[in-house]
Structure 1
Amino acid sequence: MFDRLQDIDWASMEHAYGSAEEVPALLWALRSSDAGARHKALDRFYGAVHHQGSVYPPTAASLPFLFELAADVATPDRAAVVALLVSIGRESLERGFEDDGTEIEYYPPMGCAQAVAFLCERGVEFAELARDPDPDVRLAAIPGLGLFLDDADRAAAVLRERLAAERGIAARLRIVEAAATLALRLPAVSQQVMDWLAVLAADPAQSPATRLAALVQRARCAPDEIGEDVVPAAVGLLRETARALPVRRIAPAPNRPATPADTVAPQIVAAFEDLDRHTRVHAPTTALLRTFHEALGAQVPERTAVLAEQLSSPDPGSRLDAVRMSGELMRTWRGDHTRLLLLVTDQLTTADQEVAAEAAAVLESCHPIAAPAREALAAHIDAQRTAHSPNVWAAPQALLRKSHQEAVRALVRLGDARALPSLLAALDSDVDAWRAIQVAGHLPQAADQLVPRLCDHLRRIDLSQQWTEMSANAILSALAALGDPAAVPVVVDTLGAAVRHERHGVTRSALKALGAFGPAATGARDTIRSLTTATDAHVRPAAVAALWAVGGDLSEVMPLLLGLLDDRITFRISDAADLLGEIGPPASVALPRLRGLLTQDYEWVRVHCAAALWEIGGQAEAPAVLDALLQAMAKNSATANHVVDCLDRMGPLAAPALPLLREQLAQPRRGGRFHSIDHDEALQRVGCTLIARLDPAAPGAPAPRTA
């Protein structure tokens, strides 16, 4: 097969980063005797030819050669090649076909259908690879039995055979998973496989991990059939499994190449570190339990019961994975999460700093509902400062430092000034100061201590270096939130530097900050005015908004706003509408244009213009405003926060929105903009209050939620 490698016109195909002409060299390198060359080639293949799971024409065209490598016992790292084959096939099935089995049309053309057809033709070879003498090859090949072997009876027989032969927990869990995949892919064998899984789950001769896997995969096959006994049974088996498995220390993360501190923003470095951290799995049952949580879906109390057991494991890696899953549940699904929050909070006092850091990070990300953790966070921070010195924020032990920083950030997000000493230590030491800056705006009561330090950091930023933009934006955002006019001079200086170096993002942030200071920034009016004609899409509306905030001259601002309403860039229209709504009735000259924009194609523009219409025109505009708002929310639930806020201001006139409001709040998944926990909690709070106000006598009217 490799003799025909050059017969393919690789240069005519493209992968994620352009021409696929490098693919033959990558395939050759996978059979190299040099381990470094093989590792580099595999990384590049995953990074470009199979980028983030994508399947391009050259990905599919590589399959025959990858199969030859997998079948050749002389190939080094055969297991890695088999795993690559399975990944390509799995992603092809998941991305390339609709639920009804019809092929999804891609642009540009992808190779999913070609890949699936080839792998199913060779499906029987996965049965042979699953019996390979090399246990790593067997482990990598097992999923292929469920994914690609179309002879269902043969696949089921091989899986039964392998389960009887394999002793390792990883292989056994993967065999049971492959059986469920087979049942879902081939309905003809579905009942047979599910019956087998049910027998396995009840068989006391099997290990608790195998029984747990069978129970979970049976639930995956038929989530609608999950009975009341399934979760208690799973919790019991999970407890037995935890007792049976050895307790191991959490393995250290692999070292990343050092990033030059003067060329890459620290936020970017941390983002890649977090990506590495979140893709690591520390317990053999984690993937299985993720499957169980997916099957349980919106059953929050049941999932909380499972997570409670996971969080009580003696194995720190299991608890670490459980903390992450807990955060995912609370951020994705609505419900009363108090119990789960407290269970995560209990992990702050664990001896394992990585688990404690993860718990604090989850509490920070869930800060809109994290009030029950406030006292525990404060006690944890105080204990660390007592035990390790007041400068524990900059502790040389990486895990201790991370644990403290995450806890401080979580407490600051709750607006609690007990975190202030560590925040000030961070700004004074300049160790990971960016992490403190990101949350500093949540402590306006400490502005007198924070603002001078933030201004000092801002003065030291060199905007001639592009990588400093993120840091400048974060400081400006914090200063705007704190609202202390003492920051005006340094913000004005930063605005000038941003304009000189054409850092448009920083220019916009500086304008927003000056707008937040209002008339206290009047001295910067001429500079702001000069930017109202800027060509950058974001700078111009920000300058107009700042000009109004610092000067309040309607005759100067109205022509600029009317010009933005006529713009073709949608966010400029929305920004202008927001400012017109802030101005209110004095902006009545804009009413005809705002009415006309209610027919604009983009629902976000309609929402912002409708809200402005209400603020300017009031009751006379109510029918058109209400119609635009409800249509937009019905079409795009992400608009719900904006819509509900406007409905709240409309008072009794919003009564026709009641059915849609109830429908929105009845959804089990979080909604609102970005489906984020902060937007969703605000949506529920305002929505419940609005429903209670509009129809207080209605049976079952929801009460406003509290954190």
Structure 2
Amino acid sequence: MFTGIDEVDWASLRHAYGSAEDVPPLLRGLASADAVERETALDGLYGAVHHEGRVYDSTLACVPFLFSVVARAEVPDRAGIVELLASIGTGGAEGTGAAGGGAPARYAVSSGAEAFVPLASDADARVRRAAASALVQFLDDQPARVLDLLRQRLLVERDDAILLAVTEAVGLFARRHPGHAAPAVELLAARSAPPYGPGLRLAALGQLACVAPDRLPAGLVPTAVRLLRERSAQRAAESGGPQEDTLVARIRRLRPSDEEGSRLLRTLHSALGDRVDDRIALLTGQLTSPDPRDRGNGVWMSAGLFRGLRADHRRPVSLLGAQLASDHAWLRDAAVSVLAELFGLAAPAADALHTLVTARPDLWTQRWHGGPPTLGGPLRALSRSGDRRAVPVLAQVLDSTAVPVDLGCEVVPLGRAAAPLAPALRRRLGLIPLDDPAAARLARPLLAAVGAVGDREAVPEVLRLLSGGPDGPGGLDGIAGPAIETLETLGAAAQAAPLLRRFLHTRHAAAAASALWSAEGDANAVLPSLRRELAERRHGRRRPAAEVLGRLGPAARTALPELRRVAESGPAAERAWAACAWWWIERDPEPVLPVLRTAWTEDPTARRPIVGCLAEMGPPAAPLRELVATELAAVRRHNARETGHGSHDIAEDEALLGACREVIAAL
């Protein structure tokens, strides 16, 4: 099984943590008789030679030995090794001391792909399941043979979980081999109808939606919802007998999961794409299912819908609110986490959130891994929705001994409605010790809250913090910028003018210049600093300077040469801010509109400042009207990404839409 393993110069090969000389014991551990050793070995290989999907030279050296292990029927847990091989073969990230990225890795696994053929009919069901997809992915040069193997598995397989995996493999085959897709589509179409079971039919419908939507039945969504209910009822009937009383079984009952169902519905959602009405109808079916696992899957899929697509989301949001009364804590917590990202869009669930907050004071705060307390999810979601009923509860939390470090941030969406909190916020701000290393982390949320509620009585506390900021005696890095912005928001910059002038020569120059201009209106006092900031090539320095110059308007005319240079080069967002400032200063749209058009297309994050400029520009902005109208008509959010998301993405997109409507009104 490991013939030749000691002949490899592992010490000269590399993985994520350096020399690969520790790899041979991991490979041998895969064939151990001890289950713990096998699991540890597999984890070790994922963590080192295939760290975060990367491919190293040691990764390629492992492939022949991995194939040797999976070929031995007596070795347990081979399914995980098949999955590791498939992951290596599809990995594209290049590691340190790497093998040149994904192409060599794919070639290495494809060269041994014949090994997947007998594994597709292996005695171990988990191996058969993993091998179905691997056949399609790596036996590329024999499509007719692969399809025949899949057809045979569909005929002889009796395990429902394997049938689902093979059905998904047939869909993958149709996508990878369009020239051979017709017979694969026929296989899927046949299994999307009776007499096949609801799970298999759902799988087939999802794959058909991806590869042959014209073959879908009429009333796809009602059909899918009905099949989902039938599948849940079937699962409930099958699990109605005596249940194990093991620790694992008890944990599963506390937090049940349905990964298979999640995958089936996620495939269907992905295939429906931008058909937002159909997706909302499908979510409605999921969120009203009698089975809490179906509802849980619906909760997480609603998050993807809200983040990616614009629509009237009131119905699914209301159904998320209904989950808050569930007896299942895991379902309630999932719904709360999604609602917290919606900000104002969570309004249809505000009553349910308020009921939960009122009934469960123990959920007002939370701690993670022994860290400082943070605001609990239900109260955070209620506050972010802008519901003023959060204010009395926040007041009680502020009066407690352990105030959440992030509470101030969650006050901001409430704005002036949170004015009753001003004395407590002010007191907390005044209690922050200037010699505390965590002072900046504690102060920033409170400064944001003080500015949001408009508490002018907090000015002495803000000045105390500012005097200890960068270049001050306390050296509290990270406080100066927010403190300066808060003073300006409160209209109190004049009281700090001598101190603000000191910051004109620091990284907070733009904030200080803005505040001084608001207080004194003397452009000559702030222009040199702002022009220096425009010349800075460090990340994040030019954008705020351009924004402040735009506020100065014609008084900033001497900075036009620098603004033009920024508007004609550099990142799109910086070009957009510089062009907006250029217009504010000269009020000539002709040289500015082409810059704004290009930046709009290149960087969606530049659209917010652009629409603000266009709204003020009014009729002269007419040449860019179609950009704004197209944005308003778009189904996809401007900041939706294939991978990853930010907690404020939805709120930022909704703000962009509001600004776009202002532009259309101004035109």
TM range, normalised to the smaller chain?
A: 0.7 to 0.9
Q: Are 1:517 and 2:486 counterparts?
A: no
Alpha carbons 1:59, 1:111 under 8 Å: kept = no
Encode CA deviations 1:491-541: one digit per residue, 9 max, x unaligned: 44444555367663344333433443342x54544444333323xxx5443
The alpha-carbon distance between structure 1 residues 43 and 485, as it changes in their structure 2 partners (threshold 3 A), is farther
What's 1:599 paired with? 568
Alpha carbons 1:209, 1:241 under 8 Å: kept = yes
Q: Tell me which of 657, 663, 670 is aligned to 2:624.
A: 657
Encode CA deviations 1:232-288: one digit per residue, 9 max, x unaligned: 332222222122122889x9xx99xxxxxxxxxxxxxxxxxxxxxxx9953421111
Q: Which amino acid aligns with 1:678?
A: A
What's 1:69 paired with? 69
- Alpha-carbon distance in 1 for matches of 2:516, 2:109: 63
Alpha carbons 1:458, 1:472 under 8 Å: kept = no
The alpha-carbon distance between structure 1 residues 239 and 687, as it changes in their structure 2 partners (threshold 3 A), is same
Q: Tell me which of 600, 612, 624 is aligned to 1:645.
A: 612
Q: How far is 1:630 from its partner?
A: 1.4
- Alpha-carbon distance in 1 for matches of 2:436, 2:33: 47
Q: Which amino acid aligns with 2:132?
A: I
Q: Are 1:508 and 2:481 counterparts?
A: yes
What's 1:53 paired with? 53
Q: Are 1:679 and 2:652 counterparts?
A: yes
Q: Which amino acid aligns with 2:531?
A: L
- Alpha-carbon distance in 1 for matches of 2:159, 2:426: 55
What's 1:270 paired with? none
The alpha-carbon distance between structure 1 residues 480 and 282, as it changes in their structure 2 partners (threshold 3 A), is farther
Encode CA deviations 1:382-414: one digit per residue, 9 max, x unaligned: 3x1xxx5x5552599x9xxx9993222122112
Q: How far is 1:83 from its partner?
A: 2.1
What's 1:688 paired with? 661
The alpha-carbon distance between structure 1 residues 560 and 322, as it changes in their structure 2 partners (threshold 3 A), is same
Q: Which amino acid aligns with 2:632?
A: L
Q: Tell me which of 232, 236, 247 is aligned to 1:242.
A: 232
Identity over the aligned pairs, expressed in percent?
A: 37
What's 2:556 paired with? 587
5-14 vs 662-671, which moves further = 5-14
What's 2:319 paired with? 343
Q: How far is 1:560 from its partner?
A: 0.8
What's 1:83 paired with? 83
Alpha carbons 1:88, 1:115 under 8 Å: kept = yes
Alpha carbons 2:374, 2:406 under 8 Å: kept = no
- Alpha-carbon distance in 1 for matches of 2:640, 2:276: 22
What's 1:533 paired with? 505
What's 1:173 paired with? 164
Q: Which amino acid aligns with 1:614?
A: W
**TM-score between both structures, scaled by the size of structure 2:** 0.86
What's 1:192 paired with? 183
Equivalenced residue count is 642
After superposition, the CA RMSD in angstroms is: 3.6
Q: Which amino acid aligns with 2:149?
A: V
Alpha carbons 1:378, 1:418 under 8 Å: kept = yes
Encode CA deviations 1:604-663: one digit per residue, 9 max, x unaligned: 222111111222222xx2211222211211333332222111111100111111222233
Question: Superposed, which structure 2 residues align to 1:137-156 within 5 Å?
Answer: 137-150=127-140, 151-156=142-147
Alpha carbons 1:476, 1:510 under 8 Å: kept = yes
The alpha-carbon distance between structure 1 residues 198 and 230, as it changes in their structure 2 partners (threshold 3 A), is same
The alpha-carbon distance between structure 1 residues 23 and 368, as it changes in their structure 2 partners (threshold 3 A), is farther
Alpha carbons 1:607, 1:642 under 8 Å: kept = yes
The alpha-carbon distance between structure 1 residues 591 and 395, as it changes in their structure 2 partners (threshold 3 A), is closer
The alpha-carbon distance between structure 1 residues 287 and 415, as it changes in their structure 2 partners (threshold 3 A), is same
Alpha carbons 2:391, 2:421 under 8 Å: kept = no
Q: Are 1:326 and 2:305 counterparts?
A: no
- Alpha-carbon distance in 1 for matches of 2:128, 2:120: 4
Alpha carbons 1:367, 1:414 under 8 Å: kept = yes
What's 1:426 paired with? 397
- Alpha-carbon distance in 2 for matches of 1:629, 1:650: 12
- Alpha-carbon distance in 2 for matches of 1:526, 1:69: 74
Q: Which amino acid aligns with 2:258?
A: H
Encode CA deviations 1:461-520: one digit per residue, 9 max, x unaligned: 786546x7544433333333333233344444444555367663344333433443342x
Encode CA deviations 1:20-69: one digit per residue, 9 max, x unaligned: 45434433443445555544443343334323333333333322222222
What's 2:334 paired with? 358
The alpha-carbon distance between structure 1 residues 498 and 81, as it changes in their structure 2 partners (threshold 3 A), is farther
- Alpha-carbon distance in 2 for matches of 1:471, 1:46: 38
The DSSP-based 3-state class of the residue aligned with 1:132 is coil
What's 2:431 paired with? 459
Q: Are 1:119 and 2:109 counterparts?
A: yes
What's 2:417 paired with? 445
What's 1:297 paired with? 273
**TM-score between both structures, scaled by the size of structure 1:** 0.81
- Alpha-carbon distance in 2 for matches of 1:483, 1:307: 41
Encode CA deviations 1:434-483: one digit per residue, 9 max, x unaligned: 353431222333234255246527735786546x7544433333333333
- Alpha-carbon distance in 2 for matches of 1:60, 1:426: 56
Q: Tell me which of 120, 131, 135 is aligned to 2:125.
A: 135
- Alpha-carbon distance in 2 for matches of 1:28, 1:458: 61
Q: How far is 1:308 from its partner?
A: 1.2
Alpha carbons 1:345, 1:359 under 8 Å: kept = yes
The DSSP-based 3-state class of the residue aligned with 1:487 is helix
109-118 vs 504-513, which moves further = 504-513
Q: How far is 1:176 from its partner?
A: 0.8
The alpha-carbon distance between structure 1 residues 442 and 665, as it changes in their structure 2 partners (threshold 3 A), is closer
- Alpha-carbon distance in 2 for matches of 1:613, 1:311: 50
Q: Are 1:409 and 2:380 counterparts?
A: yes
Alpha carbons 1:672, 1:683 under 8 Å: kept = no
The DSSP-based 3-state class of the residue aligned with 1:584 is helix
- Alpha-carbon distance in 2 for matches of 1:305, 1:601: 44
Alpha carbons 2:504, 2:513 under 8 Å: kept = yes
What's 2:251 paired with? none
What's 2:4 paired with? 4
Alpha carbons 1:56, 1:112 under 8 Å: kept = no
Gaps of 5+ in 2: 249-254
Q: How far is 1:126 from its partner?
A: 1.5
- Alpha-carbon distance in 2 for matches of 1:404, 1:304: 30
What's 1:258 paired with? none
The alpha-carbon distance between structure 1 residues 328 and 121, as it changes in their structure 2 partners (threshold 3 A), is same
Alpha carbons 1:354, 1:403 under 8 Å: kept = no
What's 1:26 paired with? 26
The DSSP-based 3-state class of the residue aligned with 1:133 is coil
- Alpha-carbon distance in 2 for matches of 1:40, 1:472: 44
Gaps of 5+ in 1: 97-104, 256-278, 695-707
What's 1:575 paired with? 544
- Alpha-carbon distance in 1 for matches of 2:375, 2:440: 27
